Structure 1
Amino acid sequence: MSEAHLKPEKDYSKDADKIIPEAQELAKTNVQAAIDKLAVLEKQARQASDLATTSRVLVTIVTICKEAGDWSLLNDQVQVLSKKHAQLKQATTKMVQTVMGFLDETPNLETKLSVIDTLRTVTEGKIFVEVERARVTRILSDIKKSQGDLNAAADILCELQVETFGSMTRREKTDFILEQVGLCLERGDYTQAAILSRKINKRYFARKPKKTPEQLEKERKELEEREKTRAADEPPPEKDEDVTDLKLRYYYQQIQLANHDHNYLEVCKHYRDVLDTESIEQDPEKLRAVLARIVYYVVLAPYDNEQHDLLHRIQQDKRLSLVPVEARLLKLFTVHELMRWHEIVENFGPQLCSTDIFDAELDPANPDAFQRWQDLRKRVIEHNVRVVAKYYTRIEFGRLTQLLDLDEDETERYVSDLVTSKTIYAKIDRPARIVNFSKPRDADDVLNEWSSNMRSLLNLLERIDHLITKEEMMARIMPKKGKA
C-alpha cells in the first residue's frame, strides 16, 4: 500500500496550523530557532506517518532557508531531512520538488550548482525521486553545455537510463533520449548516438487516424475515471498528444547518423517518414524540400532490389509534380536508356548544386556535398552499364567505353565493381578486347527453360481448344435465321 493510503496514527494538522505560522514569524529574527521548532513537529508527524503534515513541515523549512537567503543552510537541511529515520518518501519528493523550484531564484551560478549537487546527492539511488533527479541532471547538463564543456554535458546526461523510469511519461522519456542523442551528435560520438537512438520505438511516432467527436468524448470520460482511481504515487494516465516535434527531431537525427555513414537509402527512408507528417504536408515549402531530398537520396543509393523497388514507388507519388526538375531526374533512372553525364550536368547541375546536398566543386567546409556529387556520377555510370548489359550479349571494349563516355581504366573498374556486387554478369576478354554479358548455362538450365516453354505452349493450346469448343457449342444452341 502506498504512503498516501496509509492512515496516520495521529493527525498533527491542527498543531501544524498553529506552529508553522509561529515559526515563519520567528524566522524573521532567528532562522535556526524557527527550524528547531519545526524539527520537533516534523519528528512527531513522521513517527506517526502523518504524510500531509510532514510534507508541509519539510516544505516550510526549506522555504524559510530560501527566504532568509541562506543557501548553505538550505543544502544542509535538505540532506539532513532526507536522511531522517523512516522518512516518508512522498514527503521527501515534495521537498525535492519545492527546492527545484528555487533554482531560478539562486543569486549566482555557483549557488545554483551547489543546490543542484545537493539535490543530485539526496536523490541518488532512490526510485521515488528518479524523475526529479533526471530533471535536475538535465539542468546541470544544460549549464555545462552553455559553458562550452560539451563532453561533460553529454557524460552527465547520458548516465541516466530514463527508459527504465516507470514514473516518467513516455513523452518526457523520448525527449530525454533525443537530448542525449543530440549531445552525442554534437561532440561527434556517432556510435553512442546510434546506440541511444535504438531505445526509441518508432511506432510511438506513427501517424494516428483522426478521431470522431464521439471517440474523443469517450476517451475523455475514460481518462477522468482512471484519474479518480489513480493512486497518488502512480504516474498520470497517458493521453494521445501531438508528438510531431519529437518525431521530426528523431528523424532529422537519424538522417544525420545515416549521412555520416553515407547510407543514402536509409536517409531516403527517413525523409519519407518526415514526409508522412501533417505539418510538413500542409507547408508547401517544406513539402517541396522534403520531396526533393527523397529523390536525391534514392538516386544516390547503390542499386539493389530494395532501392529499385523504392525508386518506382517514389515515382508513383503524384506530389512529385511539385518538384518537376527532380521528377525528370528520377524518371531517367527508371527507363532503360543511356544517360550522358555532361547532359545531366547541363540540365540538372544548376538546380542540384543550389542545394546543400550537392556541390560540383570541392569545398573544404562541405566535403560531403562534393562526395555526393561524385556518387551521383557513379550512379549514372552504373545505370548505363546495366542498360548495356541488358541490350548486349557481347560488345567490343572500345565500343563500350564510347557508350559510357569513359576511358578504358574507368570502364573496367565500373564493370568489375558491378560484377563483384552481383548486379550484372560479365567477363572481359582482354586479348580479344571483348566484354561478354551473357551468362553461360549448363544442360540443366537449358532443359529447364525448354520444359517451361513447352508447358506454357501446351497451356495456350489447351486454352485455345477450350475457346473453340465453347464457340461451337454456342453456335449449335443459337436459332438459325429464317426459322421461327
Structure 2
Amino acid sequence: MDNTVSELLSVDSTFRDEPRLEDLSDLATKTLDIVESMLKNTATRDVEFLKTVLLELMMAEKRCRMARDGASNARICTFIIQLLYDIRDLPNVSYYLILLSRKRGQLKAAITAMVNLAKSWIAEIPDMEARMNLIDTLSHITLGKMYLETQRAEVAFTLARIKEEAGDIAGAADDVHNVEVDTFGLLPKQDKVRYLLEQMRLHLLNKDYLRFYITSKKINESLLDSEEYSAHKMKYYEYMIQYHLNEGDYFEIAKAYHKRMDTALKQGGTGWILDMECMLLFLLLSPISDETVKYREDIVASNEKNMKETPMLTTLFKEFLSNNLIPFPLEENISNAIRAHVVFTDTHLPGGDVRLAVLSDRVVQHNILVVSKYYTAVQLVRLSELLNVDCAKLEEEISSMVHAKTVHAKIDRPAGIIRFGERKSTDAVLNGWSKDIAAMPKNKGKGGKNRRRGKNDNEGEKRELVFKMEDQEYAQVLRMLGNGRLEAYCFDGNKRLCHIRGKMRKRVWVNAGDIILVSLRDYQDSKADVIAKYTPDEARSLKAYGELPESTKINETDLYDEEGDGGIDFQDVSSESEEEDGKADDKFDIDDL
C-alpha cells in the first residue's frame, strides 16, 4: 500500500493531494496497534464491540484527513475495509467504501488505496450477488474520477468477463463499449491496446460489426509496429480478418495476412508460412484491378525467397501475373492442394465453398482479360472452346467485368461475337488527334537559339491551339490580385485562386476577362496554376469546338508589355528549347532583316 501511495504522490498535480499539514504517522501506528490488541484480547466480536473499534478508527481517520496526511489516512481506511472483509461482512464493506470515499475533503490517496484493495477481492467472493454488489460499488466510486481511470477500466472488464462466462455476450459488449479507455490519460498504452482488443473481441462475438469498426479505428496501426506490441498486433489483425471476411473484402484480408506474416517473420519460427499462403490465396480471390495487380507484383518482388517454401502455390500465383491462359478447371494436384487448404475449409474461416467458387471465377476472368489483350473480336463459341467454359458462364463473367470496368467489351448475341476494346466517339477521336498534334515539337523552322527574340504581333496566330488535358480546366480571369496571383472562374463551376508559374519566354499582360488554361491541384481543390493564356481568336476557336460554354464572353484585349513592367510571367510550352527572355543578343543576325 505504501508503494501505491508513493506512486500516486509522484504523478502530476491533477492526480495528487495537497501538501500535508501535519505528519500523523505515529498517531496512525498507535491507533492500529491499539485496535489490533483489542481484537486479539476479545474472543466474542459482537456488534457493540465492532462499533467501539470502528469509532476509534473513524476518529483517527478524521484527524489524518484534516491534516491531509494521505499515507496515514490510507492505512487507516484500508484497515477498516480489511477488518470488515475478514469477518465476511460484505454489506458493510460496500457501505464503508462509499462512506469513507464520500467524506468531506477525503484524500485521493485513501480512496485509491481502498479501491485497489477491494477490487482484488472480486475473484475471491463465491456468492455472485455479493460479487456483483461489490463491483457496482466500485463502479460508482470510480465514476468521473480521473485518478481512478485505471481501476475503473479493470472493474469494467472484470464485470464483462463475468457476464461473458454467464452467456450474456450482449451485456458484456455493452459494458466494455461504454468505457472510453482511449481517453484515459493514466492508463499505459499497452493496457489501452489490450482493453481495446478485448472490446473488439466481444463485438465480434456479439456480431456488432459497426461498433467493432469504430473500436478498431481507435488503435493506431503504426503503434503496433513496435516489437513490444507484437502479440497485440497478431491478435489485432486476426480480428480484422474476421471483420473483413464478414464484409467480403478479400483484398483487405490479404493485406492483414501480409502484416501478420511480417510480424511472424520477425518473431522467428515457421508460423509465417501459413500466413503467407493465406495472403497469396486471398490475393487471388481479390477482384482484378490495377491496385490488386500492383500489390501482387510487389509481393512477388519482395518475397521471392520466402515464396519458395510453397512452390505449387507460387507457380499458380505467378500464372495470374502472366499473359498466359490458365487451364480450367485447374490441374488435379493443384486443385486437391487448394481444396485441402484452411482458406477453403470451414474449420478456420467459414464460407470455404463460397471462396472456392470465387477462385474459379477469378481464373475465368483472368483468361478473359488475357484474350482481350490479343483479340478485338472473337466468336462466343470459339472463346468457350479456348477457355473450356460454357457460353452462359462467359456472358455472365464478361458482364460483371464490364460493370467493374475491368475490361471493355460488347456482346453481339444475334451474331454470337464478342468485341473487345473501348469504342471511341468521333469527337473523342478528333480531340485525341488534336491533343497529339499539340504535343508535337513546335520549334521547327524557327531558327536556332541565336535568333533574336523580339515582339512579334503574329506570334499568336502561328501558335497551335492547346486543348485541356484530364487534370486541367479552362477558366476566365475575374480579378488580378498582384504578386503573380489572380482569381479565376473555372468552367467546371468553381472559383479558384490561381498562381502563375513556369519559365518565361515572353511577357504577357493578363487582364480581367481573359481566357486561360489552369492546372488543377489534387491536394488543394480551391487553388490552381496558370499554364497558358489564349488570345481572343484562340478563345473563339475553343468556343467553336465546344470547349467553352456558349455564354462565354471573349475579352478583346490582348496586350503585350514590351518592357515587362507590371506584366505577369508564365511559360509558353512551345518554347522550351529557347533561352529566357531578357538575354539580348547584340550580334547582327541575318534573321533580323
Give, in angstroms, the shift of residue 280 of structure 1: 6.1
Query: Is the aligned partner of 1:323 residue 2:310?
Result: yes
Aligned 1:161-310 pairs, distance under 5 A = 161-207=180-226, 242-278=228-264, 282-284=268-270, 286-310=271-295
* Letter of the 1:83 counterpart: R
- Equivalent of residue 7 in structure 1, options 11, 19, 29: 19
Query: Is the aligned partner of 1:311 residue 2:330?
Result: no
Is residue 96–residue 119 contact of structure 1 (8 Å, CA) maintained in 2?
Answer: yes
Distance (whole Å) between structure 1 residues aligned to residue 53 and residue 119 of structure 2 = 22
Is residue 328–residue 387 contact of structure 2 (8 Å, CA) maintained in 1?
Answer: no
Distance (whole Å) between structure 1 residues aligned to residue 22 and residue 56 of structure 2 = 19
Query: Is the aligned partner of 1:71 residue 2:90?
Result: yes
Give, in angstroms, the shift of residue 111 of structure 1: 2.4
1:57 corresponds to: 76
2:170 corresponds to: 151
Distance (whole Å) between structure 2 residues aligned to residue 427 and residue 8 of structure 1 = 86
Give, in angstroms, the shift of residue 432 of structure 1: 2.3
The residue matched to 1:424 in structure 2 has which SS? coil
Query: Is the aligned partner of 1:23 residue 2:29?
Result: no
Distance (whole Å) between structure 2 residues aligned to residue 367 and residue 250 of structure 1 = 19
2:400 corresponds to: 417
2:320 corresponds to: 333
* Letter of the 2:407 counterpart: I
Work out the number of aligned pairs and report it.
Answer: 417
- 1:107 and 1:26, CA in 2 relative to 1: closer, same or farther beyond 3 A? farther
Give, in angstroms, the shift of residue 53 of structure 1: 1.2
TM-score of the superposed pair, with normalisation by structure 1: 0.82
The residue matched to 2:418 in structure 1 has which SS? strand
* Letter of the 1:312 counterpart: E
Query: Is the aligned partner of 1:136 residue 2:155?
Result: yes
Is residue 281–residue 287 contact of structure 1 (8 Å, CA) maintained in 2?
Answer: no
The residue matched to 1:265 in structure 2 has which SS? helix
Distance (whole Å) between structure 2 residues aligned to residue 59 and residue 70 of structure 1 = 15
Superposed CA RMSD in Å reads: 2.2
- 1:450 and 1:89, CA in 2 relative to 1: closer, same or farther beyond 3 A? same
Query: Is the aligned partner of 1:44 residue 2:63?
Result: yes
2:462 corresponds to: none
- 1:9 and 1:244, CA in 2 relative to 1: closer, same or farther beyond 3 A? same
- Equivalent of residue 384 in structure 1, options 367, 373, 377: 367
- Equivalent of residue 349 in structure 1, options 330, 335, 341: 335
The residue matched to 2:190 in structure 1 has which SS? helix
Is residue 66–residue 102 contact of structure 1 (8 Å, CA) maintained in 2?
Answer: no
Give, in angstroms, the shift of residue 377 of structure 1: 0.6
2:384 corresponds to: 401
1:236 corresponds to: none
- Equivalent of residue 416 in structure 2, options 433, 445, 450: 433
Distance (whole Å) between structure 2 residues aligned to residue 391 and residue 279 of structure 1 = 41
Distance (whole Å) between structure 1 residues aligned to residue 412 and residue 76 of structure 2 = 92
Give, in angstroms, the shift of residue 448 of structure 1: 5.0
* Letter of the 2:106 counterpart: Q
Give, in angstroms, the shift of residue 388 of structure 1: 0.6
* Letter of the 2:416 counterpart: R
The structure with more radius of gyration: 2
- 1:306 and 1:438, CA in 2 relative to 1: closer, same or farther beyond 3 A? closer
Give, in angstroms, the shift of residue 356 of structure 1: 2.2
TM-score of the superposed pair, with normalisation by structure 2: 0.67
- 1:137 and 1:60, CA in 2 relative to 1: closer, same or farther beyond 3 A? same
Distance (whole Å) between structure 1 residues aligned to residue 223 and residue 315 of structure 2 = 35
The residue matched to 2:204 in structure 1 has which SS? helix
> Which stretches in structure 2 are left out of the alignment for 5+ residues?
1-12, 445-593
- 1:2 and 1:433, CA in 2 relative to 1: closer, same or farther beyond 3 A? closer
Question: Which is richer in strand?
Answer: 2
Q: Once structures 1 and 2 are overlaid, which stretch shifts more, 27-36 or 308-317? A: 27-36
- Once the two structures are superposed, residues 141-162 of structure 1 have per-residue CA deviations (whole angstroms, 9 ceiling, x without a partner) of 1111111111111111111000
Is residue 3–residue 51 contact of structure 1 (8 Å, CA) maintained in 2?
Answer: no
Aligned 1:424-463 pairs, distance under 5 A = 424-441=407-424, 442-446=429-433
Is residue 264–residue 301 contact of structure 1 (8 Å, CA) maintained in 2?
Answer: yes
Aligned-residue sequence identity (percent) comes to 29
- Once the two structures are superposed, residues 338-360 of structure 1 have per-residue CA deviations (whole angstroms, 9 ceiling, x without a partner) of 11222x1513121111122115x
Is residue 68–residue 107 contact of structure 2 (8 Å, CA) maintained in 1?
Answer: yes
Is residue 207–residue 276 contact of structure 1 (8 Å, CA) maintained in 2?
Answer: no
Aligned 1:469-480 pairs, distance under 5 A = none
* Letter of the 2:37 counterpart: E
Distance (whole Å) between structure 2 residues aligned to residue 3 and residue 408 of structure 1 = 74
- Once the two structures are superposed, residues 202-226 of structure 1 have per-residue CA deviations (whole angstroms, 9 ceiling, x without a partner) of 0111146xxxxxxxxxxxxxxxxxx
- Once the two structures are superposed, residues 242-279 of structure 1 have per-residue CA deviations (whole angstroms, 9 ceiling, x without a partner) of 11111111010011111111101101111111111156
Distance (whole Å) between structure 1 residues aligned to residue 342 and residue 390 of structure 2 = 30
